Chains A and B, each alone.
Chain A
């Protein structure tokens, strides 16, 4: 029994290692690339051994890359800042609008309720390019072209439906009896929402917020069409290393590492929070 268990453990260990290698090797390779020069990266055959350089990171951070071909201006840190700003504020706005709306859709039956909820979801169906041209005309008339506010507004097309529908499901899963009990004790609807409903749905809100942040972070078409070069996110900025005169693989790798870091940190943080929230519920039964 014990022997089969240790065999089982060994096989499981090997399989987990294989899966991890398969999924993590590209990320590991990119991480290594970010410390190499273009010449090292393009060596034939590729090698794990090289003289590490911080040149790629310093070029991104200082905004200037000095190569034998000349000096290259890099606006990457600005792009990174734009991504942080757009994604953060878009998710915050979506949470502020989406969580109360999700609660309303989950708890109350009202006229056209399902239609409204479905309409909001349908924003996710529309191909972005199809809505962007009319939108750019509206933006021009409203003076919102090339503004952060305009972009955050448009990003609601990505974030709001996600948050609304995910959080709605969480609210529906929570028994209304707890809220009713709290209401009977004389508390207002608003207080019940804040003190009972939101804390109970917090894992769902965190998951939805995280997902919306990642979707917003990965988007590039909205800012590309509706804003000038100075307001482009990191997804557009990273393409600047692909030029007619060559591809700066080292900078691309460093840019990937830097641009993945915020979402990775957020995911790690939210994951701990999620596990904590869910396991607490499980222990309490």
Chain B
């Protein structure tokens, strides 16, 4: 009986059976909860690391600050396993995304030791890191005494590892040799096309191949689809309107936000190529974008696609993924395609948003917190979330090769694997890391709004933007 119990626990650890089945079958074997827990913990310990002491901080209590997100749902669903594996207790505060970063900033700036680890985006670490609020995680990843030998950091997609590491020097290359690893990638999104196949079939168009093509296809969709508009992109006065589709297309033309010479930054948004790109983008929104484009955020872009109000979006792939499920009207009609805006480009170059885990410098139990972080970003948990929950996109190359995960995605999300596989090698943060990121990128979005509203001609608007950005960089001692 005990041997069967071992096999059962091992099957559970390999995720071949779920928790309910484990309890049910353990009951049939006459095993109580305590005995089952013991066997599972034992099997897990054997599976994760034979020579790593997961119980070192047994009895420690950790507290996490989290954003309400499907990634968190996946973590919570698997959390009992971490508790059993380590003997640690974990509590967490989950806040809505609208107010989440206010909470994080307040907690960190007041030096609160309440939270040991928290979720963050990579862009935020450009503020938190130099302020001394978060830890450089290289000290943990590279220490075999702190990190289990099966962690396999190299398995995390290289573009994501680099995008979450910065040396703190304005304009410094992300992922450089002297960079500090401010956070660990947890789940991420890249920007491509999600489109409504039903509407595309009705109008008789194919997914566009480049930006010029997109302008034409979107206009035809707006004209012939009988209600829905052609293409959804974000437009609110926020840095978040620049970072998805817009910057992904922009970088595909080889354009940058800044040039860096001798450590000094200079605005690069007013080159001839940039102006040509902006013209196409603005034309696309004017002809085929949503009516209230200047108020559009993640939510409106996604809701319109899910409700059949738009024919396609050039935004986060996981936004399209979510709109193909739940109680969305167009569930099952959403397809996906890679998108390289520049006809001369060989592959897409999507900018990325990476939900990551960071460690508070004010935590009184950093080593124990790292135990949680390495478990939450482990192959095992990533695999669990990708197979059983909506933990997409996983950040590990090995998980993208997993047949069960690929089978699940391929079955319900046509083209999703293809768009990801074609784009992942070029997926990274294309912004220049610098402390004025949020202010200057928001100003870029504001300029885009004025251009779309025809308040300012495109060439003039970009020259004004570049001049204003240069002035601010100079005032902050970053330009020259």
A residues adjacent to B (C-beta < 8 A): 37-39, 42-44, 67-70, 132-133, 136-137, 140, 145-146, 220-221, 224-225, 228-230, 232, 236, 239-240, 242-247
CB atoms of B99 and A246 under 8 A apart: no
B328 contacts the other chain (Cβ, under 8 Å)?
yes
Cα of A68 to Cα of B110 in the assembled complex, Å:
41
CB atoms of A225 and B68 under 8 A apart: no
CB atoms of B299 and A224 under 8 A apart: no
Residue in contact with A136 in the complex, picked from B73, B112, B319, CB distance below 8 Å = B112
CB atoms of B99 and A247 under 8 A apart: no
CB distance from B331 to the nearest CB of A (A): 8
Neighbouring B residues of A67 by C-beta, 8 Å: 326-327
CB atoms of A68 and B325 under 8 A apart: yes
In chain A, what residue has the closest Cβ to B389?
A70
Cα of A133 to Cα of B306 in the assembled complex, Å:
40
Neighbouring A residues of B323 by C-beta, 8 Å: 246
Residue in contact with B98 in the complex, picked from A44, A68, A225, A239, CB distance below 8 Å = A239
B70 contacts the other chain (Cβ, under 8 Å)?
yes
Q: 5 more A-B contacts (CB under 8 A) besides A70-B73, A245-B326?
A: A224-B106, A225-B103, A236-B99, A240-B68, A244-B69
B227 contacts the other chain (Cβ, under 8 Å)?
yes
Neighbouring B residues of A229 by C-beta, 8 Å: 93-95
Neighbouring B residues of A39 by C-beta, 8 Å: 327-329
Instruction: Contacts A42-B303, A133-B110, A224-B102 given; indicate if A242 touches B327 (C-beta within 8 A).
Output: no
Residue in contact with A244 in the complex, picked from B97, B102, B329, CB distance below 8 Å = B97
Neighbouring A residues of B319 by C-beta, 8 Å: 244
B322 contacts the other chain (Cβ, under 8 Å)?
yes
Cα of A37 to Cα of B329 in the assembled complex, Å:
11
Neighbouring A residues of B103 by C-beta, 8 Å: 224-225
Residue in contact with B322 in the complex, picked from A133, A137, A236, A246, CB distance below 8 Å = A246
Cα of A170 to Cα of B73 in the assembled complex, Å:
54
Which of A39, A69, A221, A245 neighbours the largest number of chain B CB atoms within 10 Å of its CB?
A245
Instruction: Contacts A39-B329, A70-B73 given; indicate if A247 touches B299 (C-beta within 8 A).
Output: yes
CB atoms of A42 and B307 under 8 A apart: yes
CB atoms of A246 and B114 under 8 A apart: no
Instruction: Contacts A38-B327, A39-B329, A69-B390 given; indicate if A242 touches B98 (C-beta within 8 A).
Output: yes
B302 contacts the other chain (Cβ, under 8 Å)?
yes
CB distance from B117 to the nearest CB of A (A): 15
Neighbouring A residues of B93 by C-beta, 8 Å: 228-230
A/B pair count, beta carbons within 8 Å: 102
Residue in contact with A132 in the complex, picked from B73, B106, B114, B329, CB distance below 8 Å = B106
Cα of A145 to Cα of B323 in the assembled complex, Å:
39
Neighbouring B residues of A140 by C-beta, 8 Å: 110, 112
B259 contacts the other chain (Cβ, under 8 Å)?
no
CB atoms of A69 and B325 under 8 A apart: yes
CB atoms of B111 and A137 under 8 A apart: yes
The size of the chain B interface, using a CB distance under 8 A, is 40
In chain B, what residue has the closest Cβ to A238?
B96
Instruction: Contacts A225-B102, A225-B103, A247-B303 given; indicate if A69 touches B94 (C-beta within 8 A).
Output: no
Cα of A220 to Cα of B308 in the assembled complex, Å:
34
CB atoms of B96 and A239 under 8 A apart: yes
In chain B, what residue has the closest Cβ to A75?
B94
A-B contact pairs, 27 of them (CB 8 A): A37-B327, A38-B326, A38-B328, A44-B227, A44-B307, A44-B308, A69-B326, A132-B106, A137-B110, A220-B99, A229-B93, A232-B95, A236-B99, A239-B98, A240-B96, A242-B96, A242-B299, A243-B69, A243-B70, A245-B70, A245-B326, A246-B302, A246-B303, A246-B323, A246-B328, A247-B299, A247-B303
Neighbouring A residues of B331 by C-beta, 8 Å: 68
CB distance from B360 to the nearest CB of A (A): 14
- What's the dominant secondary structure at chain A's contact region? mixed
Chain B 104-151 interface residues, beta-carbon cutoff 8 Å to A: 106, 109-112, 114
Neighbouring A residues of B308 by C-beta, 8 Å: 44
B309 contacts the other chain (Cβ, under 8 Å)?
yes
Cα of A110 to Cα of B99 in the assembled complex, Å:
45
Cα of A240 to Cα of B99 in the assembled complex, Å:
10
Cα of A232 to Cα of B102 in the assembled complex, Å:
14
B200 contacts the other chain (Cβ, under 8 Å)?
no
Closest CB pairs A-B (n = 4): A239-B96, A69-B326, A229-B93, A42-B307
CB distance from A151 to the nearest CB of B (A): 15
Cα of A158 to Cα of B95 in the assembled complex, Å:
24
In chain B, what residue has the closest Cβ to A42?
B307
In chain A, what residue has the closest Cβ to B304?
A42
Neighbouring B residues of A38 by C-beta, 8 Å: 326-328
CB atoms of A246 and B110 under 8 A apart: no
Neighbouring A residues of B94 by C-beta, 8 Å: 229
Cα of A234 to Cα of B390 in the assembled complex, Å:
28
Which of A43, A221, A230, A243 neighbours the largest number of chain B CB atoms within 10 Å of its CB?
A243
CB distance from B390 to the nearest CB of A (A): 7
Cα of A230 to Cα of B99 in the assembled complex, Å:
15
B437 contacts the other chain (Cβ, under 8 Å)?
no
Which of A43, A146, A229, A240 neighbours the largest number of chain B CB atoms within 10 Å of its CB?
A229
CB distance from A23 to the nearest CB of B (A): 23
CB distance from A206 to the nearest CB of B (A): 33
CB distance from B279 to the nearest CB of A (A): 31
Residue in contact with B114 in the complex, picked from A145, A230, A242, A245, CB distance below 8 Å = A145
B298 contacts the other chain (Cβ, under 8 Å)?
yes
CB atoms of A225 and B106 under 8 A apart: yes
CB atoms of B106 and A245 under 8 A apart: no
Chain B 60-106 interface residues, beta-carbon cutoff 8 Å to A: 68-70, 73, 93-99, 102-103, 106
